[in-house]
Chains A and B, each alone.
Chain A
Amino acid sequence: MTEFKAFSKMKELMTNYYIEAKTTKEKPIAWITSGAPVEFLFAMDIIPIYPENYAAMCAASHQSVELMEAAEQAGFSQDICAYARTDFGADITQGGPAAGLPPPHFLLCSTNICKTVIKWYEVVARKYNVPLFIVDTPFLHEGLNKDLIDYTVTQFRDLEDFLSEFIGRPFDRDRFYEVLALSQEAAEHWRRMLYLGKTVPSPFNSLDSFIHLGPIVTLRGTKECVDYYKLLYEEVAERAEKKIGSIPEERYRVLWDNLPVWFKMRRLERFFEEKKCTLVVTTYANSWGGMSNYQVEEEGDPYELLAASYLDVYINWGFEERIKYLAQLMDEFCLTGFVMHSNRSCKPYSVGMYRLQEEVSKLTARPGVVIEADQNDPRIYSDAQVETRLEAFIESMDSI
């Protein structure tokens, strides 16, 4: 990974966050999906816990296989999302980093990232006998409209009532607005940092952004999160200004679509570096530059703005929008090609991917490749197969 001074700060932040979550006696714990409106929880002093983030940590530290096997032993099919299986396994064995997650008092799930989370959280709700609140965010087949925003806002109001009843005091709207502002500020630092990838050579690579995602997913809405991304932005901006690239010699610049292959980060990093290829931008990391990111002081109902920002995310878009966005990133970041990870675990991200590749290639006149892999399950990953495809793809690109 590119060496950033901010990295130690992130480790400290994430460690403190997990220690508080594991040891707190006062604060309620809510398990929450990565695309759910966490701001409502921080406004009520509830600690959000992200099973997805935890599952990724398990895979990155090469612990996911034994956990998934424990879940499969308990009857969960290998066909279901590997994040869910990893978490079920950690729950059954109390294994994984920090020996599993603190038990939830309730669950908050939003369908803007996938519909699978409903089933996943139903299993958790039944296991722990806790309430499950679902924010149903409709898929944007043909863009965002007022009806979809209104529908989502009504659920935010219900969520406030739910939290108020659960905690036993009125929903703290003043605190909520403060949290919204912090959330927006952190997301904006993150977005600006990611867009520094437009610099040639790119001052960071996407494997770095996957690693530095932790706080924007788990802690957006806190002051610590803002401070961290400000620090990271400044460090990356300095590198961009001095034209320090993430790899010694950058000949190819590519986009990565879909989640990372968490258990192959190091190997893929070495592979791309040897080929003088930088992964510059990803649709995945970009998503958290959009969620919660709007001007709070702008005229307009903050609830509507928040609803729009949570609905309007890449994985919740129809094909036309995805194609346009991918082509736009290809141009804005001066890319020579793109890599699409057909991810067995993440069906909504992967379905139709070969068609997307064809369309984006046609539109941009640049090559793309689809690799078959999984975000968390090394048992279905083949180094030779993936790397052979990537090699052929890199050879087909024109260098910068």
Chain B
Amino acid sequence: MVDDDFANGWRIVSKGELQVEDLVEGVTEFLFNPAPCCCIYNPENDRHPYLVDKVKGAEADGVLFWYIKFCEPDAFDRPQLMGRLKEEDIPSATIDVELSMTTFDAVKTRINAFCEILEG
């Protein structure tokens, strides 16, 4: 895995320090930038070009979507995001995960299958 776009990963890490001189501006900036999040509507910071650029920047061969039940905002975004990646010839796949899951065999199989696709 060469890069991530997890809400509790890069999206948080990429944030700068919270500007406290003007707290409202600071919090807004902190929430809306730099990494776009499915929970925040901001057409000026669109997830589609952002993700494509990120994939290219990391020289990734493909994208694995990690859908955790029941994140509705992410579930709404994903089909069109996958469509956009396809237009760019970037392969992608989805793994469905529930927080209460205890066995991950199916997930492993899915990841293996995806890696085989990437290896061509």
Interface residues of A (CB under 8 A from B): 74-77, 79-81, 84, 116, 118-120, 122-123, 126-127, 132, 134, 347
Contacts and interface: CB of A to CB of B under 8 A. Distances in A.
B78 interface: yes
Nearest to A120: B76
Nearest to A344: B70
Interface in B42-72: 43, 48, 67, 69-70, 72
A80 B67 CA distance: 12
A75 B70 contact: no
Interface of B: 38, 41, 43, 48, 67, 69-70, 72-73, 75-80, 82, 94
Given A81-B72, A84-B76, A122-B41, 12 more contacts: A74-B79, A75-B94, A76-B75, A79-B69, A79-B70, A79-B75, A80-B75, A116-B76, A123-B76, A123-B80, A126-B48, A126-B80
Pick the 5 closest A-B CB pairs, nearest first: A75-B79, A119-B76, A77-B75, A79-B70, A80-B75
Given A119-B38, A134-B41, A76 B79 contact: yes
A120 to B, nearest CB: 7
B41 A118 contact: yes
Nearest to B80: A126
Contacts of A80: 72, 75-76
Nearest to A114: B72
A171 to B, nearest CB: 23
A80 B73 CA distance: 9
21 contacts: A75-B78, A75-B82, A76-B75, A76-B76, A79-B69, A79-B72, A79-B75, A80-B75, A81-B72, A84-B76, A116-B72, A118-B41, A119-B73, A119-B76, A119-B77, A120-B76, A122-B76, A123-B80, A126-B80, A127-B80, A134-B41
Contacts of A127: 80
Contacts of A84: 76
A375 to B, nearest CB: 15
Contacts of A77: 67, 75, 78
A384 B30 CA distance: 50
B72 A119 contact: yes
Contacts of A120: 76
Contacts of B79: 74-76
Contacts of B73: 119
Nearest to B75: A77
Nearest to A78: B75
Nearest to A75: B79
Nearest to B67: A77
Nearest to B94: A75
Which of A75, A80, A84 is most buried by chain B, counting CB atoms within 10 A of its CB?
A75
Contacts of A122: 41, 76-77
A360 to B, nearest CB: 26
A123 B78 CA distance: 10
A75 B82 CA distance: 9
B103 to A, nearest CB: 21
Which of B70, B75, B76, B94 is most buried by chain A, counting CB atoms within 10 A of its CB?
B76
B62 to A, nearest CB: 16
Nearest to B69: A79
Contacts of A74: 79
A132 B42 CA distance: 11
A81 B70 CA distance: 11
Nearest to A72: B79
Contacts of B75: 76-77, 79-80
A126 B79 CA distance: 12
B99 to A, nearest CB: 13
A81 B73 CA distance: 11
Contacts of A76: 75-76, 79
A76 B96 CA distance: 12
B64 to A, nearest CB: 15
B17 to A, nearest CB: 27
A314 to B, nearest CB: 21
Contacts of B78: 75, 77
A123 B67 CA distance: 18
Contacts of B76: 76, 80, 84, 116, 119-120, 122-123
Which of B43, B73, B75 is most buried by chain A, counting CB atoms within 10 A of its CB?
B75
A270 to B, nearest CB: 34
A347 B67 CA distance: 19
A122 B70 CA distance: 19
A273 to B, nearest CB: 36
Contacts of B69: 79
Contacts of B94: 75
B6 to A, nearest CB: 18
A84 B72 CA distance: 11
A76 B81 CA distance: 11
